């Protein structure tokens, strides 16, 4: 399918410097369409109020030769969605200084799914990685799309959790949508493109410059009903995303952790500033009042008994025992005290939990929880 | 030194049923003193408005024979402090339904020290126990008295931390001040009595009945400028103490932890309800504006660089490295990435930290932080 001339014209406009939405809106009124702008004479463009820098670019050969964009647009799953398009996400359009157009590789519908951003450290603890994966998987299975930044660490775990649930996930890039960074996430990006979308506000071929990431973070926050920060050091990019979300009036969620963990300090700072302390998926769903968004996908339970996927369907007493075990190793006596169960009951239940892979025996007759393996 | 007749009379009055502060205040106005009440005729007591149940008790031989109280009061460090006494703690007197008198074994001055309550689980994690001990030690060294309930677990760690700092600590009992419970804390109670005070609102000999503990918790909260909850399950007694503190308009502090730890759930609940998320001693001191209370004891620094005692005086780079290590084992490469230090610098600093006992080598070339040993 040949690309629409209008999409190709928008791709050209995204490359023009100094073209912001007010200037473009005015020019569109006068010249009718993106193609009207790119095909007009320089004099017409000047009369339409386009800034000099933009006009200069549009008169060059570089602007005329948009072969790369045209070739890219030939793929039916590649789209340029201008701010004037009804498919441009309304939540993003409601924020100041949103991109002139979004480049989308993958499902165009994903853009307008109700989304939760899950972001955090590029170097999380194993627990942080697990938490991102599990919450993402659980929420994606219930119809929330999961939006993140394709970085290593928490971002990747969030994307992978949603993919594991056959859910929708969006990766917003700080580079052109055809420039995958980091390279180690190329195969992940292929899966995301199949099951959701890669999204960028930058023209094709844009390298992942450091200065691009704040805008990437703003798009993540703006697309989403809320932003969850899983682990973040103080002064990290995730906190910027969270603060942007708050400035847009969106919910901010943060996972607490040990006071001795540097990667919990950013989350604790957010909680002090009003972010919702988040222990379970239910904390997020209840705050977003997500039932309003349900699309009928899979299990729609939002009751207070919801918990992480690996514990779903577990015997109630086993669940109590696992809760009592917590995240530090403990011996059977301690578990007897904590649960009030009989020693022989605790002993046999722990055996079952061990066989099921929920706990493992540690030296000294102690048990610890099994950290879920990566997928 | 023979006990004052007035103290002995107050001891008798604390044993009388149905004698609350309004009734006692009225009777004191008419009969002049506690001794005036205990030595008056039944008719006078009736005219003074004492309730029938109290009058009945005061007419019995049991009331007259207060030998045990007299014998106890012969010890110069044993006191009965009635609500009319200027030494009765003002913060406690400001709350509704405070005890008619406090029994004190130890330092009477301790009662009016500025206090922080530190409470939590009887069955904490090793980290929780450490945190209680370290915060208590640090704060007690800076002149805050530490008040708790002599229970095992967090309470004991808090008392011990204050004792380790040669600071002041108060244990409020749910039994008579002469009935030490749990018995495993008898030797701890001897130290507390020497360096602070055992305190109770219950008459001598009162057993540690379950129903006494809510009142004990109220006294802890009422004596203190603020209450810190270190680890607590949902629906635990520590949360009751914290809610009482909040109802008295006092600060509530709570330590966050892993979302997988049942012992962090109570703290997280408090934080959601407005308790101050607490990572360091500084969070407490700054909120209490404690400089106002400084008595000139030891180091009076309250700057933002304050941290736990074991890290005081540490080289700045070593501190950064230790922070970067966090609470999970990590290898040198990870520490290089986290700190931005050169690999050889990280390697030599880790050696020093290991020699100093701050970290220990774990299998696979990883390092973990040393959990401070119990004292």
pTM, rounded to two decimals: 0.76
The contacts found for A240-244 with CB under 8 angstroms, 24 or more apart, are: A240/A214, A241/A117, A241/A119, A241/A217, A242/A119, A242/A270, A242/A275, A244/A217, A244/A218
Close Cβ partners of B95 (under 8 Å, ≥ 6 residues apart):
B218, B222, B248
The answer to whether residue B58 scores a pLDDT higher than 60 is yes
Whose CA is closest to A174, among A156, A148, A154? A148
Q: Which residues contact B353 (CB under 8 A, 6 or more apart)?
A: B318, B321, B322, B359
Residue among A218, A213, A144, A208 nearest A177 (CA)? A208
Contact (Cβ atoms closer than 8 angstroms) between residue A154 and residue A118: yes
Residue B130, class by beta-carbon neighbours within 10 Å (0-12 exposed, 13-18 middle, 19+ buried)? buried
Calpha distance B137→B157 (Å, rounded):
10
Do B277 and A262 count as a contact with CB atoms less than 8 A apart? no
A127, A259, A338 member nearest B256 (Cβ): A259
Going by C-beta distance under 8 Å and a sequence separation of 6 or more, which residues neighbour residue B285?
B139, B142, B144, B291, B302, B306
User: Would you tell me how many other CB atoms lie within 10 Å of the CB of residue A184?
Assistant: 10
| Residue B176 CB neighbour total at 10 angstroms | 22
Is there a contact between A141 and A130 (Cβ–Cβ < 8 Å)? no
Closest residue on chain B to A321 (Cα): B262
B274 class by beta-carbon count within 10 Å (0-12 exposed, 13-18 middle, 19+ buried): exposed
**Alpha-carbon B310 to chain mean position:** 22
Q: What pLDDT, in 10s, does the model give residues B26-55? A: 999 999 999 999 999 999 999 999 999 999
Whole-Å CA distances, A172 to A66, A220, A354, B331:
23, 6, 40, 31
pLDDT tens, position by position, A23-37: 999 999 999 999 999
Question: Which B residues, 12 through 41, put their C-beta within 8 Å of a C-beta on chain A?
Answer: none
Please report the DSSP string for A50-110 in residue order.
--HHHHHHHTSHHHH--HHHHHHHTSTTEEEEETTSTTS-HHHHTSTT--SEEEEEE-TGG
Q: In chain A, what is the straight-line distance between the N-terminal and C-terminal CA atoms, in Å?
A: 36
* B125 interaction partners in chain A (CB closer than 8 Å): 326, 328
Q: Do A125 and B337 touch (CB under 8 A)?
A: no
pLDDT in tens, chain A (375 residues): 456 899 999 999 999 998 999 999 999 999 999 999 999 999 999 999 999 999 999 998 777 778 889 999 999 999 999 999 999 999 999 998 899 999 999 999 999 999 999 999 999 998 899 999 999 999 999 999 999 999 999 999 999 999 999 999 999 999 999 999 999 999 999 999 999 999 999 999 999 999 999 999 999 999 999 999 999 999 899 999 999 999 999 999 999 999 999 999 999 999 999 999 999 999 999 888 754 344 433 333 333 233 333 444 467 777 788 877 766 677 888 888 778 787 777 877 787 777 677 787 776 677 777 755 333
Closest Cα partner for A148 from A234, A78, A217, A239?
Answer: A217
Distance CA A207, CA A175 (A): 5
The structure tokens listed for A308 are 């992480």
Please list the alpha-helical segments (H only) found in chain A: 5-14, 21-31, 34-39, 42-47, 52-58, 61-64, 67-73, 90-93, 126-141, 154-164, 186-195, 213-223, 237-247, 262-272, 281-288, 316-325, 332-339, 343-355
- The β-bridge relationship of strands B226-229 and B115-119 is parallel
**What letters, b where the CB count within 10 A reaches 16 and e where it falls short, cover B66-94?**
beebeebbeeeebbbbbbbbeebbebbee
Structure letter (DSSP) for residue B165: T
Q: Are B20 and B100 in contact (CB under 8 A)?
A: yes
Name the one residue in this structure whose structure tokens are 């703006």: A222
Q: How would residue B308 be classed by pLDDT, with cut points 50, 70 and 90?
A: very low
**Peptide bond preceding B92 in cis form (omega within 30 of 0):** no
- Interface residue B326 vs chain A (CB under 8 A): yes
User: A120: closest CA among A205, A203, A208, A220?
Assistant: A220
Compute the nearest-CA separation of B335 from chain A (Å).
11
B38-54 b/e (C-beta count within 10 Å ≥ 16 → b): bebeeebbeebebbeeb
User: Average of pLDDT values for B255-270?
Assistant: 95
**Which strand ranges, in their side-by-side order, compose the sheet holding A330-331?**
A330-331, A366-369, A359-362
From A257, A337, A338, residue closest to B258, measured CB to CB: A257
Nearest to B16 by CA among B58, B44, B73: B58
Residues B93-139: tens digit of each pLDDT? 999 889 999 999 999 999 999 999 999 999 999 889 999 999 999 99
Write out chain B residues lying below 8 Å of A278, CB-based: 259
A277 CB-side CA count, 13 A: 27
Instruction: Give the DSSP letter of residue A359.
Output: E
Token pair, residue B362, equals 């774990």
Nearest to B262 among A256, A259, A326 (CB): A326
Q: What is the mean pLDDT of residues B276-288?
A: 93
The pair of three-digit structure tokens given for residue B250, joined into one six-digit string: 């006092």
* CA distance linking residue A321 with residue A191, whole number of Å: 37
Cα-to-chain-centroid distance, residue A152: 13
3-state class (DSSP) for residue B146: strand
Q: Which A residues, 251 through 290, put their C-beta within 8 Å of a C-beta on chain B?
A: 255-265, 268, 271-272, 276-280
Q: Are A368 and A357 within 8 A, CB to CB?
A: no
Cβ of A337 and B123 within 8 Å? yes
What lies within 8 Å, CB to CB, of A303 at 6+ separation is A282
Weakest mean pLDDT among A288-297, B69-78, B349-358: A288-297
- Please name the helix (run of DSSP H) or strand (run of DSSP E) that holds residue A360, with its range, or none: strand A359-362
Q: Can you tell me the distance from the alpha carbon of A342 to that of A335, in angstroms, rounded to the nearest whole number?
A: 10
* Token code pair at residue B191: 């130290």
Q: Which residues of B touch A255 (CB under 8 A)?
A: 259
Largest CA distance in chain A: 89
């Amino acid at each position: 399918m040949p690309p629409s001339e209008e999409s190709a014209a928008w791709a050209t406009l995204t490359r023009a410097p100094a073209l912001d939405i007010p200037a473009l809106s005015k020019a569109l009124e006068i010249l009718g369409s993106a193609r009207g702008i790119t095909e007009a004479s320089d004099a017409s463009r000047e009369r339409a109020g386009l800034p000099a820098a933009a006009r200069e670019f549009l008169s060059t050969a570089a602007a005329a030769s948009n072969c790369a964009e045209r070739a890219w647009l030939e793929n039916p799953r590649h789209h340029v969605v201008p701010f004037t398009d009804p498919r441009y996400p309304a939540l993003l359009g409601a924020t100041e200084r949103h991109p002139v157009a979004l480049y989308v590789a993958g499902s165009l519908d994903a853009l307008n799914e109700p989304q939760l951003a899950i972001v955090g450290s590029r170097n999380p603890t194993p627990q942080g990685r697990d938490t991102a994966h599990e919450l993402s998987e659980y929420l994606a299975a219930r119809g929330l799309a999961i939006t993140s930044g394709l970085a290593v660490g928490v971002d990747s775990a969030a994307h992978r959790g949603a993919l594991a649930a056959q859910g929708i996930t969006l990766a917003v890039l700080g580079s052109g949508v055809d420039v995958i960074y980091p390279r180690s996430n190329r195969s992940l990006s292929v899966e995301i493109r199949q099951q959701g979308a890669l999204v960028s506000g930058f023209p094709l071929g844009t390298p992942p410059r450091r200065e691009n990431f704040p805008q990437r973070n703003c798009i993540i926050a703006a697309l989403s009903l809320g932003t969850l920060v899983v682990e973040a050091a103080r002064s990290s990019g995730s906190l910027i995303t969270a603060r942007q979300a708050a400035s847009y009036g969106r919910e901010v969620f943060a996972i607490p952790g040990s006071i001795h963990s540097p990667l919990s300090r950013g989350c604790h700072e957010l909680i002090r500033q009003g972010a919702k302390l988040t222990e379970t998926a239910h904390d997020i769903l209840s705050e977003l009042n997500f039932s309003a968004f349900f699309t009928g996908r899979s299990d729609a339970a939002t009751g207070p008994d919801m918990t992480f996927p690996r514990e779903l369907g577990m015997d109630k007493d086993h669940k109590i025992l696992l809760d009592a075990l917590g995240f530090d190793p403990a011996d059977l006596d301690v578990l007897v005290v904590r649960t009030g169960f009989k020693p022989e009951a605790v002993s046999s239940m722990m055996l079952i939990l061990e066989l099921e892979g929920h706990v493992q025996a540690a030296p000294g007759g102690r048990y610890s929880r099994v950290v879920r393996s990566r997928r």
